[in-house]
Amino acid sequence: MQIKEITTNKTDYTDILLIGDEDKKMINKYLEQSTLYALYKNNVLASICAVAEIDNETVEIKNLATYPEYRNEGNASALIDFVCNKYKTNFKYLILGTGENINTLKFYKKHGFQETHKLKNFFIENYSHPIFEDGKQLKDMIYLKKIL
């Protein structure tokens, strides 16, 4: 397993980013100011994480995505651990927003994140089409925070 920081040609990673965020317009809003970390297994891209600095205390995971054939292998967990270790020296908090998917929320809570607040109807008001996960339409964005 190898994690590389991507600094150029970030749009080359749009296909995997679309797994974590189904709207290209939304991805383009944060992609340029984000740092991408790509996880490779045997030189094949498996997972990616986009991280943006919010202020002098906080960084945010804007997107965390893994190709389906590489799920449940610890790749997303490895990226979270990498991001936490990379940013803990200069930042106090790691935050992220996600849909109200029980499995996704469990995953982040397992990694020490706690729910802080909701943005009501975020997915309805900010996306051009309905977003579904596990057969359920996403409506609210749930924010979680972890102390680094």
The band of 135, judged by pLDDT with boundaries at 50, 70 and 90, is confident
Q: Letter for the amino acid at 40?
A: Y
Contacts of 107 (CB under 8 A, 6+ apart): 76
Q: Are 61 and 50 in contact (CB under 8 A)?
A: yes
Distance CA 54, CA 60 (A): 7
For 79-104, what is each residue's pLDDT tens digit? 999 999 999 999 999 999 999 988 89
- According to the model, what pLDDT value does residue 106 have? 95
The domain segmentation of the chain, as residue ranges, is 2-147
- Within 10 angstroms of residue 43's Cβ, the number of other Cβ atoms is 6
Distance CA 38, CA 13 (A): 9
For 43-72, what is each residue's pLDDT tens digit? 999 999 999 999 999 999 999 999 999 999
CATH of domain 2-147: 3.40.630.30
Whether pTM exceeds 0.75: yes
131: closest CA among 22, 15, 29? 22
